[in-house]
Structure formats: structure tokens, C-alpha cells
A and B are shown apart, each in its own frame.
Chain A
């Protein structure tokens, strides 16, 4: 079918409507979920695929989930391609069958138009519990993916719009918090059903042939945009590497290596030079690796580019040697891959692209290192589980702006909301003593890295289990500076016990905690961009006045003399800057 001119208008109308449908699906989940991971932190995405497996629209609260969904769709098609029925809903969470890590459950509903399978509506979200011995899904002592909880390959969980109760109950019985999981599962089912209804209405109105012609147009337009952007990158081979703090089982850092080859309007990333797969839970399955590469690309290129369909990722080709940490073989454990693994891959990729783009790429973001706690909360009389998302670092500076404060890790790219301090006290057995910016935590630069938080919270209950997980506690894994900018401060967390003992706690370990213990957390800042000596002295002064950069750092690092009264001493500044 030739696209006649008015179809460019129709394309715009339909594209907006598809985006709108994924948002309506997202709203359903946001408003009804029980676990704070969904509703306070928004750790999920919703998407629409066509029957051919092309992603055509997606919300992106948590960008790292964005390019992980296509892998799951491939698996569903492989197993059920010939037997899809109207009223079916499928799920999977096995990292070795189309998923990133087990806690992120993928749900998909085939959408039938005129009796024919035409689309999928998809919801992917982080469950508070999938069984296993971890705390809220994180078990640093895992030696195998089997230690990380229950994993489903592609599974028909609804047939004829009826839940497979036997299967579901079997899963439920393996859980510590079955009611919350069941409620969150229902809200995901609600989302794909809402999407199904809206898509079918849209197809009734526009006709399936028109819809498919328009979708091809959308995909080729997005692909063309990405190809234009890649053509701007000089041809060549560029490399980068980064490490994680450890792999959980050992203290040995794990290295990810990215070789990026730009050829015309295609870009190739090969991670085969990364370490061999490791015993601990930082291994990154292909879906996660590819998604991390896309995320880094989107962060480095024009932010106005589309990010939500298969067209845009078509010119991005990702490979990794089977058996390496970026493409592990089963049963290597994987739970940490969506944060520490992604963060290392994003940093390695950004370094490589920075070499191609003359450093005009963002500085590093502070990596995620937080406790999970769970147990019986005597204040509510219920079990609780919390990922302490109130602990969050700063974002990296860019060639044109300071980093953002307390956004958290690049995996969520400012989409993950911090739990309200009062809600935190209401739903967990903790008392917050302090929750504030950590001055001087942002990496210095012509543009400063965003600040991390400093928090102090006291445990009010006994028999609470705690896992500290993540990365960014080492100098090497602090948020990297770029173009002469300084790195941000690394994450540093302590437990201060009742008897005055101070224990530095390491990422990826079980932490013994008792009633009265204080968690003293210092989340790192983002990396700085450009030489700090080039920073506008007025911007330095304003930071000093606000109390987020100290006078000594202003003097020693930025080479700006700020007097006690908050004014700039121009002569002293000139002398410091050697002007």
C-alpha cells in the first residue's frame, strides 16, 4: 500500500493514541498496587507489541526495562505462537527464557482483532517476593538462579479469561508475602486487560490494515531518526570498561568491557571482552545487557528522539560471547544485573561513546547501594518488605547543565520516586532521624554532579532481616567525571549499634541488625563535567550560599575564594585561578 499524503497526519494521530493507551495501562498499576516498589517507586513499564514482535509503544518509568521486553515476546511467540487463543494471558520471569531477572515479572495478553491475533499488551513489574531466601528478592549468597526464587518460563496463566488457580496457588504457597504479590499481580492483569480493550476499540475505528500501515510508518520513522543520529558519530572502533564492586560471593570486582564499532548508520556493541561469568549474582543475561546498551545510547544522544519502539533500536546490534558475564549460561545467578550490572555496562558504553563524541556525553550517575529489610512490623501487626529507595545518589552533570540531586541510579533515570519519609515510618519499623543533602557529594566540574542524600534511620524492631545490595562503594565505582570533571563521592554506609559499635557495611551481604541500630547512609553524588576551574564563580558562590559546597572545596577545587559573608573575593579568585 502506498502511503498517500494525509497518512502522515493519521500516523501522528495513531501514534499519540498508542502512547496514550500505554499510559492508561500504567495508571491502572500505579493507583492500585500494594507494594511500595510499584506504587511509590514505580518500578514497572507497560507496552504494546504487534503480532510480528515489534514494540510499538511503551511507558518508561524505569528505562532499564524498556528494551528488555522484546526478548520476552520472542519467547512467548516461540512457545505459544501456534496456539494463541483469545482470552489467554501469559507470564514469564526466567532470566534464561526471555527475562532480565526473576523479580521482574512479565505479563502479556494477545489482542485479537476480527478473530486474528494482531497485538500484545504487556506489563512488566518488580514483584516484592518471588520466593527464595533473599530479602525482597535479593540474595547475595545465591550460587545459582535456583536460589533466587521461583522462575516461570513462558506460561499460560489465564485461558479463556480464567486464572489457572492450581498453578497460581502452587506459586503463592512458596511466598512470604503472598497477599501483596497476588494484589500486584491483579493490578498487572488489570493493566493488560485495559490495554486490550482500548486497542480493540482503536482497531475497530481505524481498521487493522490502516493500523498496520501506520505502524510500519512509525517504525521506519523512528529507525530513520536513530540512523541519522548514528551517522553523526564518526566511523571507528571505541572501547570502554567498568567494574562492579564485587559479585556477592567474593569481594572480587567484576569487569564489563564494551567494544563499540560505528559503521555508517549501524552501531555494533560487543561485550565478549568482559570477564567470564561469575559465581555470584551480578551476571547479566542478554536481555539485560542489550537494554543497558540502549539506555546508554539514549542518554548520550538527542533526548528528543523516540525511545519507545523497535524502530529506534533496530540499528543497535549487541553481541556477547556465551559464558561471559554479559551473556551467562544457566544456572548462573543474576538478580543484581538490573542495577550493578547495568550501571557498569552504561559506564563502559558511555566511555566508548565519549571517545567518539569528544567527551560530549554525560558524566556518570551515582550507583545504587541500598538496604532491603523485611520481617514482622510490630507497629502494624503485619509482615512488611521494603527496598529502601529513600537512599539515593545524584545524577551526572552534562556538557550544558549541573546534575540533578537525589534522582537515584541511571537504571531508573529519575523515574523512581522516593518513599515519603512519613509513609516510610508508617509502613516500616524505622524512625528517621535525619534525611538531607550531603554537601560536597556531587563531583566538581564546570557543571557539578547532583548531590546524594545523607540519612540516619533507627530500627525499632527485633528479628528483622537485612540485605545490603548494589555498588558504588569504591573509588573506582563512584560516579565518573567527564572531560576533566571530578568523580562524585562514593556510597558509604554504616550501622551504628546501641553499644556504640560502628560497622561499615559492604554491598551484597546479609547484615545482622538489632533493635536500636542506626543506619547511617551517605549516598554518593553524580560525576562532574568539565574542569572545575572553568565553573562560573557566581555558580560556585551560589552553591556555597546554599550550603551544598563548602568554602574549602570552593577554594581548593573550584579555585573560587568565597568570603564568610557569602561574597566572592575577586582578587583572591583571580590569583587562585592563575588568571
Chain B
């Protein structure tokens, strides 16, 4: 049997998901080793081999693909521990990255704390004499002499620069100057990681482009070291399969390219989610989904439309802009660790989080603030003894005390009322987060199946969906290693972009197609080098389009590979109308960027259904009863062992279904059913399962 292995190295746990050709998956979890992430990676592989009773090389011989998601670059960025980086820019424009377009982030009224630190300090930004205009014409020749002198100065800087980003005005219109600067830097400082904006993100908007290339340089050396080491060690232990790294767009890339485009790994961790969601939903014929992943500190929402995860070209990390396609994962600070507080009689939950240290009050590690997890415990949803497979008992009294002191007393209500309030408020803000990526973009959440994942997701899924009137919830059995399971089955993806600021007409469309063809050829070569046979190549052509004078573009898919004036114009009007409620059909349109999205399809496991064992829950699955609060009433709720449920089994609410790493709350008006792959589906009890599926199944 051949396997694919998804490895998601997270902050607390390294999740592994091993899937065979029949789609049968196995879950493994091992503590992460943040100071040496590769250690957790190899611990996990050793654990699997041991669990299978195989020698390491024997086991690895059966693994054809390792798909690896890493938070190493995310963490380096969030903690400010990237490489020592210099930025080279056009003379006169040194301060563009520091100005951040003159916008105050966070509370506009709050100037009690200073502006956030820049990624690269002003003294590490170097100016060189050169200038290209908007048409790509050289106005001022590159002063190579000056560049060389600068490189020599950089080489002797203390401490030494590990990385250099280059971002020149209009470089995407003519990359020659940036390329020459990179050559000279390469000659003088062969050890340095050099990254130029016209290679990483060749598109208009100097601040956003510069921020992206600066981030790429800032984390490039860190990712390069990590991946070089990882590849070498995999080779040492006899792995002959392929290693791929998960990108922020949900696809994977081989390590060599990933090192050059390190900025594409900033969302590598959560990026496996949508693929996993799609995998489970397809079984029910669904390709219109919202994935919600609720962990300790954050709640991540992503949308999948017609089987494609939605991406955005406009994201940021720690206030630094990233102008490359990443999965449009909307994150809010609402998780198990979100802190509740009362101000002027108004209860809010988050965005502050107690994290894992000290963690929620009930962790008993000195946390005094009441969190979502404390409310979940007080309401009876969590088992104080069996939490996290019993490794980790919870302190009920500490949870009650925190809620009493910080919430109940200030509001003049009981602890239970306060806990119910916390549960409602956090659910409402999560529902708003779902609305932010659906309603706000013209989608109706009632037409989507909700995939609930993460340790805390299934606990809150039903009330969120009730509020959104979403008819169907899918809860994968591997909910707790959701992203790793998606990684294991990801395709190879490459995104290409070229700036093309022109009015769309018969003349410009010819040039556009030449540019598109060049990008497709580049993509084709790359995929061939990655051993993807041509019949498995898929290309999507799109353009960032706007009405003349608009300042924001709408990414519009071209109906065909050959861009046509009619096809693209029509698609843009339609999209604009869907997004913003109007279009101007008689107006000409303009293109800003052309994009090619290339996919190399990877073989997918062929899942096998398990036999239907009927609605009745087997004996032994009911493990006991627990006092728990459902919509204001205390109930003696039955508690089931999720792993003992199988295909066809039905659990009526109110009930609690427990797995070692997840708890599912089934409210009194909901029904949970185990499906043919032993995942769970949940829906309102007043409609039948097939009807609920029909409501979100688009034909």
C-alpha cells in the first residue's frame, strides 16, 4: 500500500495525517518543538512507523508524497525574528515602506502607544540613482558604480546582512535595473539571500509590492535553512519520495521554488483547510462550502465556491501587506482562549486571548481571565476529567471564579447566565465573521454547507449555523488535524502575475494574449520539471479589471484561455454587479494586471464507503450523562463516544459527542448522523438530512 503524508507543524501540536490509496486516513499528533521544528516533524514520522510496527526506512519506502505545512515563517514574522534584512530602493523613495500610506491601524482615536516598528529600519534602507517611468522607459540610468560601492558597504555592515530586498519604482514595467542590482549584489555578497520585486510580485503599487518583497527577504533565509536541512535529513533516513511545501494559496510547491518565494508560506499552516473541506463535502455532492476552524486564539473562515477556494491579493500579516494570492481566510480573535470582559455594562469576547500560557482560568496555570473555554466548561459541554484525552484535567472552580468576578458580578447576573452570555456573544461574533466573507461579498450563507473543524469548532458550530440559518454542518472525524488532512491531498499550484495597465480593446487584447501565453509557457515548463504530465495541467486566466478611474480592481476570470474583449468585459460587469449591487454596462473597462493560475493535479485517494449499520447507536457508545445547559435549561445530556459511532448511526439532541481531541455539542433542535466515511453531519431536527443536503447542493 502506498501512502501520502500530510504534516502540519503548528504552534502547540504537530499534526500528521496518513492517507492510503483507498482514502483511509490515520491521525497522529505529537507535541511541536518550536525551537527546532524539524524535530517534531521527525518525531511524528518515527511515531507512525512505530505504531505500524515497521522500521523507519521500511515505512518511508511506502510513502510517495510528504506534504508539509509550516508556521516557521509566520512565527518569525509575528515575533520579529526574521533575518537581518536591507532594502534597496530608488533614490527619493526611501521612506515609502515606513509611511505605510499614512494610515493609522487599530483604534483611530488611540495615540497613547507609538506606531508599530517597521519590518526594516530606516538605516537599513539604501537609495540608488536610477529611474524608470510608467511606460518602462529609463529616465535615469542605473549608477552601477554606486550600487557596487553600496554592496561593499553592506558586506562589511555590523551585524552582517543576511538578506537584501530590491524594490525600484515601476520595476514591473521594466525589470532590467532590479536584475542588474541583483547581479552586482550576487557578485559582492554571494552568501546573501537577494530578492527582487519584479520577480516576486511584478505589479503596480510600490508600497504593497515593496512590503511583499521585503517580507520575502526577511523570512527567505530562515525558510531556506529549514528546508535545506529537512530535505537532507529526509534523504539521510532513506526517503526517496517527494517533498512538497504547502503555500498560502492552498497548493503545494517543491522546496527549491519555495525558498525563492518564501513569502508564499506565510499562511502555509491553515491553508490545508479548504482542500480538506472539499474532500469531505464531495462525498455528499457538495462544492459550495464554508470552512470554520476554531482553535485556541483564532477563528478562521474560508469560502469555497463551485469547488474552488476563494483567494485574495490583498492581505496582511502583523500590519505588513502581502500583495500575492493567498487563500481568503478571514481570521478574527475568537477562540477557546478569547477573554471575556465587561465595560460599561457591555460584554465583549476577545480579541485578546489568554493563549496557551497562562491559558484559560480552568487550565489552572495562573490565568485569571474568563475565556470561551471556561464558559464551555461551566456550561457542561467540556468534560473536566477527560479533556484532551484525559492528559489535561480542567479546574471547574477556577473557571467559575473567573466568570463570577469578571463577568457575573459586574453585570449583576448568575455565573451560569454569564457563561451563557459569553457563549452567545462569541458565537455571534463568529457568525459575523462568516457573514463578513459571504454576505459582504454578495453570497447567501444559507446556500453553503458549513465544515466545522479545530478543537473548539464542533462545540460552537450548531449555534453559529442556527444564527446564519445554514442548513447543514459537516464535522470531519479528523477535525482536530483538519489542515494536515487537506495537505495530504493538495495539488501543485503556481500563480503568475504581470502588470498590464491598458484599456481593454481589440488592440490591447492581442498584447494581453501574448503576455498570458508567456506566463502559461513558464507554468508549463515548471510543472513539467515537477514531473506533472501535461494532461494533468490546468490553467485559469484572469485579469484585474476596473471601470476607468476606479481605484480598486475586481479579479475577473476570463471565460477562455484566449482573452477576448467581449468575454472579459461581460464577466467583469457580472462580477461587479454580484459584488456591489450595480454595473455600468455601457462603460469601457480597463485592465491592471493579468494573472495565470496553474494547477498540476495530483492523484487523489479513492475513498471507500463503510457499510451502513443503521440508525441505532451501538451499545457501549453511550458512555454516561452530564449536566449541561442548552438554551437556558439544564439538561441531563447523554454523552457518546464518537469513535464508537459508525455509518448510519443517529444521535438526537440534546447530546454531547466526544472524541479524544474534539467535543461536539448537539443542541436539542439538532440531529447528528454518522456518514459513509464515518464523518458527522448535523442539521436541524425539523428537516430531513436529504433535504438539508439538497438545500446546499447546487445543481
Which residues of A are interface residues toward B (Cβ below 8 A)?
A: 5-6, 8-9, 11-13, 15-17, 20, 24, 27-28, 30-36, 38-40, 60, 63, 179-180, 183, 186-187, 189-190, 193-194, 198, 221-222, 224-225, 298-299, 303-305, 307, 362, 379, 382, 392, 395-396, 398, 400-408, 413-418, 420-423, 425-427, 431-437, 453, 456, 545-548
**Residues B113 and A28 in contact, CB atoms below 8 Å apart:** no
Q: Are A299 and B109 in contact (CB under 8 A)?
A: yes
A564 to chain B, nearest CB (A): 14
Cβ–Cβ contact A418 & B425, under 8 A: no
Q: Which residues of B contact A11 (CB under 8 A)?
A: 345-346
CA–CA, A368 to B625, complex, Å?
Answer: 67
Find chain B residues with CB under 8 A from A15 CB: 346
Other-chain contact of B550, A32, A362, A436 (Cβ < 8 Å): A32
Contact A183–B547 (Cβ < 8 Å)? yes
B284 contacts chain A at the CB level, 8 A cutoff:
no
Smallest distance from the beta carbon of A191 to chain B beta carbons, Å? 9
Inter-chain CA distance A288–B20, complex, in Å, is 69
Q: Tell me if B112 counts as interface (CB < 8 A to partner A).
A: yes
Contact B121 A546 (CB under 8 A): yes
A413: which B residues are within 8 A, CB to CB?
104, 108-109
CB distance B413 to A5 under 8 Å? yes
Residue among B114, B428, B584 facing the most chain A CB atoms (10 A cut-off):
B114
Query: In the complex, what residues of B have CB within 8 A of residue A221's CB?
Result: 344-346
B 562-600 binary contact with A (CB < 8 Å = 1; else 0): 000000000000001001111010000000000000000
Closest B-chain residue to A217, C-beta based?
B345
CB pair B429 A401 closer than 8 Å: no
Q: Which residues in window 422-454 of B have CB below 8 A to A?
A: 424-425, 428-429, 432, 435-436, 439-440
The residue from A24, A27, A190, A304 contacting B110, defined by CB atoms under 8 A apart: A304
In the complex the two chains form, is A436's CB within 8 Å of B580's CB?
Answer: no
Given contacts A420-B205, A423-B551, contact A392 B102 (CB under 8 A): yes
Tell me the complex Cα distance, A186–B584, Å.
10
Report which of A20, A398, A434 forms a contact with B111, defined as CB distance below 8 A: A398
Query: Cα distance A418–B206 when bound, in Å?
Result: 12
From residue 136 to 195 of chain B, which have CB atoms closer than 8 A to chain A? 139, 169-170
Q: Which residues of A contact B98 (CB under 8 A)?
A: 405, 437
Contacts of A547 in B (CB 8 A): 122-123
Q: B107: CB under 8 A from chain A?
A: yes
Give the contacting residue for A434; candidates B92, B436, B548, B584; CB below 8 A.
B92
CB<8 Å pairs between A and B, sample of 5:
A24-B439, A405-B102, A407-B102, A417-B101, A453-B99
Size category of the binding interface on chain B:
35 or more
- B115's partner among A183, A392, A400, A404 (CB-CB below 8 A) is A404
Cβ-Cβ contact count across A and B, 8 Å cutoff: 212
Q: How far is the CB of A516 from chain B (nearest CB, A)?
A: 14
Contact B104 A405 (CB under 8 A): no
For B108, the chain A residues whose CB sits under 8 A away are: 60, 63, 413-415
Contacts of A12 in B (CB 8 A): 346-348, 421, 425, 428
- Given contact pairs A34-B550, A437-B98, A307 touches B344 in the complex (Cβ within 8 A): no
- Output the least CB separation between A328 and chain B (Å): 29
A28 CB to closest chain B CB (Å) equals 6
Enumerate the 6 nearest inter-chain pairs by beta-carbon distance, A residue then B residue, closest first: A414-B104, A303-B110, A434-B92, A9-B421, A39-B551, A303-B109
CA distance A60 to B106 in the complex (A): 12
Q: Given A11-B346, A13-B424, A401-B112 in contact, is the A421-B93 Cβ separation under 8 Å? A: yes
Chain A residues whose C-beta falls within 8 Å of the C-beta of B425 in the assembled complex: 9, 12-13, 16
User: A447 to chain B: closest CB distance in Å?
Assistant: 9
A30–B547 contact, CB under 8 A?
no
19 additional A-B residue pairs with CB within 8 Å, beyond A28-B581, A63-B109, A304-B110: A5-B413, A12-B347, A16-B425, A20-B432, A27-B440, A33-B550, A34-B550, A194-B581, A221-B345, A299-B111, A401-B111, A414-B103, A420-B204, A420-B207, A434-B92, A435-B93, A437-B95, A453-B99, A546-B123
Give Cα distance in the complex from A546 to B115, angstroms: 15
CA distance A11 to B428 in the complex (A): 12
Nearest Cβ distance between residue B429 and chain A, in whole angstroms?
Answer: 6
In the complex, whether B552 has a CB less than 8 A from a CB of chain A is: yes
Residues of chain B whose beta carbon lies under 8 Å from any beta carbon of chain A:
92-96, 98-99, 101-104, 107-115, 121-123, 133-134, 139, 169-170, 204-208, 343-348, 411-413, 417, 420-421, 424-425, 428-429, 432, 435-436, 439-440, 501, 547-552, 554, 576, 579-582, 584
Contact of A16 with B99 in the complex, beta carbons under 8 Å: no
In angstroms, Cα B94 to Cα A548, docked, is 12
Contacts of B440 in A (CB 8 A): 24, 27
Q: Are A13 and B103 in contact (CB under 8 A)?
A: no
Q: Which residues of B contact A186 (CB under 8 A)?
A: 582, 584
Pair A417/B111 contact, Cβ less than 8 Å: no
Q: Closest CB of chain B to A323's CB: distance in Å?
A: 33
**Cβ–Cβ < 8 Å partners of B95 in chain A:** 435-437, 453
Contact of A17 among B104, B107, B428 (CB under 8 A): B428
Report whether B432 and A16 are in contact in the complex, using a CB–CB cutoff of 8 Å: yes
Q: What are the residues of chain B within 8 A of A189 when measuring CB–CB?
A: 582
Shortest distance between the CB of B404 and any CB in chain A (Å)? 15
**Residue in A36, A298, A456, A546 whose Cβ sees the most chain B Cβ within 10 Å:** A546
Partner of B424, one of A9, A408, A416, A427: A9
Instruction: For the complex formed, measure the closest distance between the CB of A126 and the CB atoms of chain B, giving whole angstroms.
Output: 14
Chain A, residue nearest B501 (CB)? A426
Q: Nearest chain B CB to A454's CB is how many angstroms away?
A: 9
Q: Is the CB of B580 within 8 A of A395?
A: no
Q: Across the interface, which residues of B come within 8 angstroms of A193, CB to CB?
A: 581
Inter-chain CA distance A311–B525, complex, in Å, is 64
Q: Who on chain B is nearest to A408 by CB?
A: B102
- Complex: A407 Cα to B108 Cα, angstroms: 11
User: Are A421 and B114 in contact (CB-based, < 8 A)?
Assistant: no
Q: Which residue of A lies closest to B590 (CB)?
A: A380
| Chain A residue contacts of B428, Cβ below 8 A | 12-13, 16-17
Smallest beta-carbon distance A217→chain B, Å: 8
Measured CB to CB, the closest approach of chain A to B668, in angstroms, equals: 18
Interfacial chain A residues near B92, Cβ < 8 Å? 432-436, 456
Across the two chains, which residue of chain A brings its CB closest to B93?
A435
For residue A362, give the distance in angstroms from its CB to the closest CB of chain B: 6
Q: Indicate if the CB atoms of B206 and A33 lie closer than 8 Å.
A: no
Is A8 within 8 A of B347, CB to CB? yes
Distance, CA A455 to CA B357, complexed state (A)? 48
Q: In the complex the two chains form, is A417's CB within 8 Å of B204's CB?
A: no
- A469 to B: closest C-beta gap in Å: 19
> Is there an interface contact between A225 and B582, defined as CB atoms closer than 8 Å?
no
Distance between B576 CB and nearest chain A CB, rounded to angstroms: 7
- Distance, CA A305 to CA B108, complexed state (A): 12
CB neighbours (8 Å) of A405 from chain B are 98-99, 102, 115
Q: Collect the chain A residues with CB atoms within 8 Å of residue B204's CB.
A: 420, 422-423, 426
The reply to whether B580 and A304 form a contact with Cβ atoms under 8 Å apart is no
Contacts A20-B435, A414-B103, A548-B122 given: A404-B549 contact, CB under 8 Å?
Answer: no
Contacts of B552 in A (CB 8 A): 30-32, 39
Question: Could you tell me if B133 and A415 are in contact, using CB atoms closer than 8 angstroms?
Answer: no
Once the chains are docked, how many angstroms separate the CA of A13 from the CA of B139? Answer: 57
Which A-chain residue is minimally distant from B208 (CB atoms)? Answer: A420
Q: Which residues of A contact B139 (CB under 8 A)?
A: 431
The distance from the CB of B676 to the nearest CB of chain A, in whole angstroms, is 35
Would you call A546 and B122 a contact (CB within 8 A)? yes
Complex CA distance for A415 and B106, rounded to whole angstroms: 10
In the docked arrangement, what's the CA distance between A403 and B115, Å? Answer: 8
Asked if A225 and B550 make an inter-chain contact with CB atoms under 8 angstroms apart, the answer reads no
CB-nearest residue of chain A to B105? A414
**Are B207 and A6 in contact, with the CB atoms below 8 A?**
no
Inter-subunit contact A417/B102 (CB<8 Å): yes
Q: From residue B590, how far is it (CB to closest CB) to chain A in Å? A: 10
In the assembled complex, the Cα of A6 lies from the Cα of B435 at a distance in Å of: 24
Q: Please, which residues of chain B bring their CB within 8 A of the CB of A187?
A: 580, 582
Cα–Cα distance between A547 and B127 once the two chains are bound (Å): 13
Residues of A within 8 A of B114 (CB): 401-402
Known: A27-B440, A422-B169, A433-B92. A5 touches B581 (CB 8 A): no
